């Protein structure tokens, strides 16, 4: 958790009524309750100042999961601002060439005739009707997740966009609803946006697209805030961090009360979503005595 306040109010807030002490007590209690890392901070100009933290060392790298979607969205808007993309124009003409290079069928062959109306805005706002590759369904009981099952069955499989889009429950030949009709969360939207970005920026291969370039237009002071971000495409967390992640969901018979849960440190599918789930960050915080854990899902 990160709290942002006005710079002029920082000093008075931290010194008033023992606020720092109270926030540290909250951080300690929640870190112990959930066996996780937590930080509470304030933003002062271009620097984030830790107010209270617990459960993390300064070199810990965390998998950000779907938080990465904000960066994909910003990159999309940058292209629109540069006049390279109309957010409300159909994207099939842009996507079909890169889908073909991946050995996939056209957008309409994958998702039906209605897919010809899908725009970048539909994808970014979860209004395309494209089925979700991440299949977690808590109801009806028992909770199931076919994608997790596949990932755990083949933990070293290097999932890419082609494998995700071509899943039997994704490439169904039809949409789940007419584009723009309603909102329904689907990480496949952002996999397609990643392909769109790769195509529009001239990357011949999907994994040649460098999402970090979206930070280039920022002033130097702002870029410094993101200096510890890394954008990954292939592999498992074990290749980039010593911090283990655990899946504590009840999907496929898992026990959410069991500690620590299923270790996904060596599971390549953790980063399967690419531009939908591919960011890690070194979080600078005060050192703590105990080891921290990141609780993530197989396709977080």
Check whether residue 73 and residue 156 sit in a common domain.
yes
Q: What is the mean pLDDT of the chain?
A: 83
Q: How many domains does the chain divide into?
A: 2
For residue range 190-230, what is the model confidence (pLDDT) as tens digits? Answer: 999 999 999 999 998 999 998 888 888 889 888 887 777 87
For residue range 108-117, what is the model confidence (pLDDT) as tens digits? Answer: 999 999 999 9
Please give the pLDDT value at position 196. 97
Q: Does the annotation mark 277 as catalytic?
A: no
Please give the pLDDT value at position 299. 36
Check whether residue 72 and residue 204 sit in a common domain.
yes
Residue 28 lies inside a defined structural domain of this protein = yes
At residue 291, does pLDDT exceed 60?
Answer: no
Residue 62 lies inside a defined structural domain of this protein = no
Residue 138 lies inside a defined structural domain of this protein = yes
Check whether residue 93 and residue 159 sit in a common domain.
yes
Query: What percent of the chain has pLDDT above 70?
Result: 81
Residue 300 lies inside a defined structural domain of this protein = no
At residue 4, does pLDDT exceed 90?
Answer: no
For the record, the structure tokens of 152 come out as 């755990």
Check whether residue 178 and residue 92 sit in a common domain.
yes
Choose, from 8, 66, 186, 292, the residue flagged as catalytic.
Answer: 66
166 pLDDT band (50/70/90 cuts)?
very high
- Domain extent, residue 20, equals 1-54
Region 59-72 average pLDDT: 82
Check whether residue 85 and residue 31 sit in a common domain.
no
Region 32-52 average pLDDT: 68
Please give the pLDDT value at position 14. 57
For residue range 43-52, what is the model confidence (pLDDT) as tens digits? Answer: 666 555 566 7
Check whether residue 97 and residue 198 sit in a common domain.
yes
Please give the pLDDT value at position 6. 47
Check whether residue 132 and residue 37 sit in a common domain.
no
79 pLDDT band (50/70/90 cuts)?
very high
Q: pTM for the whole thing?
A: 0.81
Specify the range with the lowest mean pLDDT, choosing from 32-46, 47-61, 213-227, 234-248.
Answer: 47-61
Please give the pLDDT value at position 284. 40
Residue 153 lies inside a defined structural domain of this protein = yes
């Amino acid at each position: 958790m990160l709290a942002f306040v006005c710079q002029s109010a920082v000093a008075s807030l931290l010194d008033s009524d023992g606020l720092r002490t109270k926030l540290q007590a909250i951080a300690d209690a929640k870190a112990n309750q959930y066996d996780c890392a937590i930080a509470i901070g304030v933003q002062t100009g271009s620097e984030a100042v830790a107010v209270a933290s617990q459960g993390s060392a300064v070199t810990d790298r965390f998998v950000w999961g779907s938080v990465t979607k904000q960066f994909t969205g910003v990159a999309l808007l940058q292209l629109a601002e540069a006049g390279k993309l109309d957010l409300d124009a159909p994207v099939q003409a842009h996507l079909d060439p890169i889908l073909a290079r991946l050995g996939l069928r056209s957008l309409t062959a994958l998702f039906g005739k209605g897919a010809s109306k899908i725009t970048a805005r539909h994808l970014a706002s979860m209004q395309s009707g494209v089925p979700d590759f991440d299949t977690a369904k808590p109801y009806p009981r028992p909770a199931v997740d076919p994608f997790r099952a596949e990932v755990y069955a083949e933990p070293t499989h290097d999932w890419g966009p082609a494998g995700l889009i071509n899943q039997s429950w994704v490439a169904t030949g039809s949409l789940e609803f007419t584009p723009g009709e309603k909102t329904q969360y689907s990480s496949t939207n952002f996999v397609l946006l990643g392909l769109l970005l790769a195509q529009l920026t001239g990357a011949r291969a999907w994994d040649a697209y460098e999402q970090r370039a979206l930070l280039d237009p920022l002033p130097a002071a702002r870029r410094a805030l993101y200096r510890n971000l890394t954008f990954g495409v292939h592999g498992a967390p074990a290749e980039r961090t010593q911090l283990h992640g655990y899946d504590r969901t009840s999907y496929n018979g898992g026990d959410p009360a069991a500690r620590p849960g299923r270790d996904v440190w060596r599971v390549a599918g953790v980063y399967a979503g690419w531009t939908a789930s591919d960011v890690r960050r070194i979080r600078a915080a005060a050192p703590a005595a105990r080891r921290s854990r990141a609780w993530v899902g197989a396709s977080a």
